[in-house]
Chain A
């Protein structure tokens, strides 16, 4: 089986673009990734497109209607917040399978404002605020409080995640926000679902990101100077755990994905130079330090306290600003994370560059649940 390389990858600056359509946003990112690869839409043999909000309406084809209807096969993917990473992985798999040599993956989303989740559904009366809360801030607050229960993690430690990621985003011109948020500001912001304040919730933004994946043969033909090797691509669903159906277990699904990813890549957590992980809420990031093996169980609070996960630390996490400040356009997030890590491996991350980055990891969770992990490696 051929190794798979990223030859082009890019994202639009995340923001709010009500004047644009989903296909227009996807087309922008697709063209940027093609330019980055030095290729055209005519060179692509297939397209995998991730989008949630319009999942039943052929977003990938509508992107091609903006930039080139070449007749290639298009697969539209929806997998909650793992949607973009799933599209990327399907593209990877088609090259692994020997079916394609050059493939385009696009993730795109246009978001409204406000709370996600908790809509209920079913018949009868609304259940929100009656059978607890199903909003995303509450669900991830409860996951965080489970960590507090097991390890004594404090509100302040959760809040420090947000301070860190907002600080990182001041160095990322493509992030939605470039604003410092000191600890008191984070902790005193409007409480949404304790312990998540408003500044500890990811930002709903519009965004798009895209990647051009190629086989080893094609990569050699095009030149390896800026190529990024995909060392592992893993997708898992939530395994049975005792409370999973009442309280979604984002830990088990990540742990099995991380183990498989390290096995596939033949590396361990100690080899990872930077991580973009799924900080949909500040509480979530803490859990994943341990789930991804970046530290031992119970050590996550210490990691954030001692700055090990900040830019300049032992293993910087979410130097892009993360979902908390770069923003979280659901279908685009998985590929935007891959853009961020690739940019560091290429040594092109400017002020936020992680020194000597050789191997990086991306992680997303789609609640319900899906986990996708990629391990990427610098080639040249």
Chain B
């Protein structure tokens, strides 16, 4: 059964939107183990063809780098933390780091974070659909 009212995923590598088990899907090279976001056929690390398979990425990680964004486009709420997170088990994600006061002194490299899923800040598309996004927050 498809729930017509279920929210949509913000990107096509977010799976299980609207269920109680959302996750981020990677695509992993069977030859060199490189992990990509999004569907692809070939590996840009080793060049292997047709060896890529979907894999469920972890929901824990460590903060690799970040910026605190104070100026963005009209309508985008600032400040917020744009974060690069290395996931446990492989793969790197970029997203908002939430539930932390966005000041440099509060943010530590390698701080453990959880990947959490929630409504996409109230943003809807032109057809009125809601979306689910992923976020990072300091590990529980």
Listed in ascending order, the chain A residues whose CB lies under 8 Å from chain B are 115, 118, 123-133, 135, 137-138, 141-143, 145-146, 148-149, 155, 190-196, 240, 242-243, 245-247
Contact = CB atoms under 8 A, between A and B. Distances in A.
Contacts of B121: 129-130
Contacts of B73: 115, 118, 126, 128-129, 135
Contact of B71 (A115, A149, A243): A115
Interface residues of B, number: 41
Contacts of B11: 127, 131
B140 interface: no
A194 B107 CA distance: 12
Given A118-B73, A247-B65, 10 more contacts: A126-B76, A126-B123, A130-B121, A131-B95, A132-B83, A138-B69, A146-B65, A243-B64, A245-B36, A246-B84
A192 B80 CA distance: 11
B15 to A, nearest CB: 15
Contacts of A242: 34, 92
A149 B65 CA distance: 7
Query: Which secondary structure characterizes the binding site on chain B?
Result: strand
Contact of A132 (B94, B109, B131): B94
Contact of B82 (A115, A124, A138): A138
A349 to B, nearest CB: 35
From B44, B69, B80, B134, name the one whose CB has the most chain A CB atoms within 10 angstroms: B69
Contacts of A141: 67
A352 B45 CA distance: 44
Contacts of A246: 37, 84, 92-94
Given A145-B65, A245-B36, A247-B65, A125 B124 contact: yes
B67 A142 contact: yes
Contact of B77 (A125, A129, A145, A193): A129
Nearest to A198: B71
B69 A247 contact: no
A192 B45 CA distance: 34
Given A142-B67, A155-B104, A192-B71, A243 B123 contact: no
B7 to A, nearest CB: 11
Interface of B: 8, 10-11, 34, 36-37, 44-45, 64-73, 76-78, 80, 82-84, 86, 92-96, 104, 109, 120-121, 123-125, 131, 133-134
Contacts of B45: 240
B82 A142 contact: yes
A123 B8 CA distance: 12
From A130, A142, A148, A196, name the one whose CB has the most chain B CB atoms within 10 angstroms: A130
Nearest to B67: A141
19 contacts: A124-B125, A125-B125, A129-B76, A129-B80, A129-B96, A129-B121, A131-B10, A132-B82, A132-B94, A132-B96, A133-B69, A137-B67, A145-B66, A149-B65, A190-B70, A193-B69, A195-B67, A240-B45, A246-B93
Contacts of A155: 104
A131 B94 contact: yes
Contacts of B82: 132-133, 138, 142, 193
Contact of B37 (A125, A193, A245): A245
